[in-house]
Structure 1
Amino acid sequence: MIVNLTQHRATPEQLAAGVVDLPEPKRKALVRALTIETLPSKAELEDLAWHIASLSFTDADYMDTNVRPQAAMIGGAPYLMAPLVKALQNEGIKALYAFSQRESVESHQPDGTVVKTNVFKHVGFVEA
């Protein structure tokens, strides 16, 4: 199981790949933690990383069993990722970045115009 530690809910492709979103109370705590509004110190980043990592395995109420996740999908502020990877690794949890490919989709409108939309498709993970 791969726990989602990003501020976005997992896509259908990610869910199919084994990603599990946190339950709503934990997801809200995660989004708050990932929203850094003041310049953090190294110690603050390390504490924050531990807090985020702990959301993935404490009170495993988002799983049918109490099995800890094998991996976590991470993403956010680049300066937080290294401490988060370390915190996860200290708990035996592999850190993964989602990899997606952008596809352009053109939709022809009734008035003759064309609307171009970029769609991001999840294709796998990159280990941190």
Structure 2
Amino acid sequence: MARSTSDIDTLYELEKEIFKLQMRAKDIEVVLDDNFDHLQDNFYKMGWNSIFSGKRRRKKKKQEEEETGYNTGFIQGLLGTESIQILLQQLVPMVASKISALLERLVQRWTNKK
């Protein structure tokens, strides 16, 4: 604890210094009591946040990524080109017909086994 720069020569100065230190100790005690009350009131919430904060941050980041989706950046520019759109218009029906043919064969196998 910091003490006044001058030496204590008299009993009055000693009592004065003791009183200052008691007042300072009382102020520190009030601050500690307030901090302890705050800790007691919020201990569960702080513990919960410290354990699950990483999960919450990852969830929020994933949600933000989903909101932006494919509407920005490279994908938007790529899908915006005319040649890619023509290719997709030809490719999607071919893929859809192959998938439907495979599904029809799968359904036939299931119905023949029963």
Q: Same fold (TM over 0.5)?
A: no
Larger strand proportion of the pair: 1
When Rg is computed on C-alpha atoms for both structures, the one with the higher figure is 2
Compute the TM-score of the two structures, normalised by the length of structure 1.
0.18
Compute the TM-score of the two structures, normalised by the length of structure 2.
0.19
Larger helix proportion of the pair: 2
